[in-house]
Amino acid sequence: MTLMNPLNVLRDSFFFFQRNLGAIVQLCLPLVILEALLQQVLDHSLGPDAFPGYSVVVGLLVYPLYTAALILFLDARSRGESPRTLDVLAMALSLWPRFALLTALSTLLILLGLSMYFLPGLWLMVTLAFAEYLLVLRGMPALAAMKESFRLTRGHFLLILVCLLCVMTPLWLLKGASVAVYPDPQNPMLAVLIDSAHSFLQLFTSVVLFRLFMLIGGDADAQ
């Protein structure tokens, strides 16, 4: 098994994200903005007392599209290919039903885990980390991808957790700071701008997890 250092994973992921930033912006940012716009329309239509599950529905509509597109792009670039944006989006659209089901199941499990003293949710977040990549890149159904992710992440929990926390903790702090500086009720356009920026920055998490998936999955295949 190859010895993996979290700092090397984060460094390689950052350089990749930086080199391909323009293409990632073109591919994902319009959908990220669309998600934020839909969320604002929903919030203003239903009011502050609306059932929070409606926000999850908006995420299920758009998140699978731009995340699947990003994973397909990452895989193509790792092989030295430069796919057309429309081709990648078309492939992502064909994956939407399975990806939306996976997102719904994973979100439900993680939220249930977080409600049980936080740690079970954190454990699920790590052990399900590769499910999206298995679904998109290996064509697995949602449940099979989740099961295989449990297997692949076994023995790598601490590495994946450290990488996730190194990326997510600054994003959580940034989100908290933006809420403190611009508390509700926000100007709708400002809210769209903040939400879009936060969601786009979260895409770096997908780049980090893709790098881990290639390293860990490659070792597993070699064995």
Section 179-207 average pLDDT: 89
In angstroms, rounded to a whole number, what is the distance separating the alpha carbons of residues 42 and 48? 10
Q: What are the tens digits of pLDDT across the range 101-130?
A: 999 999 999 989 888 878 888 999 999 999
Look at residue 117 in the predicted model and tell me its pLDDT: 76
Look at residue 52 in the predicted model and tell me its pLDDT: 65
In angstroms, rounded to a whole number, what is the distance separating the alpha carbons of residues 94 and 115? 33
**Average predicted confidence (pLDDT) for the chain:** 91
How many Å separate Cα 108 from the centre of its chain? 15
The residue behind tokens 């007392």 is 49
> Domain limits of the chain?
19-215
Q: What percent of the chain has pLDDT over 90?
A: 74
Look at residue 23 in the predicted model and tell me its pLDDT: 96
The token pair at 106 is 């994973």
What is the sign, positive or negative, of the torsion defined by CA atoms of 65, 70, 71, 76?
positive
Q: Is the pLDDT of residue 1 over 50?
A: no
Q: What are the tens digits of pLDDT across the range 23-55?
A: 999 999 999 999 999 998 888 787 666 666 677
The conformational region for residue 83 under phi > 0 = left, psi -120 to 50 = alpha, else beta, is beta
Section 91-99 average pLDDT: 97
Q: Are 6 and 162 in contact (CB under 8 A)?
A: yes
Look at residue 222 in the predicted model and tell me its pLDDT: 52
- Crossing angle between the packed helical segments 157-181 and 188-222, to the nearest 10 degrees: 180
Q: Is the pLDDT of residue 2 over 50?
A: no
More confident residue, 178 or 27: 27
Q: What are the tens digits of pLDDT across the range 129-139?
A: 999 999 999 99
Look at residue 42 in the predicted model and tell me its pLDDT: 85
Section 66-81 average pLDDT: 96
In angstroms, rounded to a whole number, what is the distance separating the alpha carbons of residues 80 and 40? 38
Look at residue 3 in the predicted model and tell me its pLDDT: 54
More confident residue, 134 or 181: 134
Look at residue 149 in the predicted model and tell me its pLDDT: 97
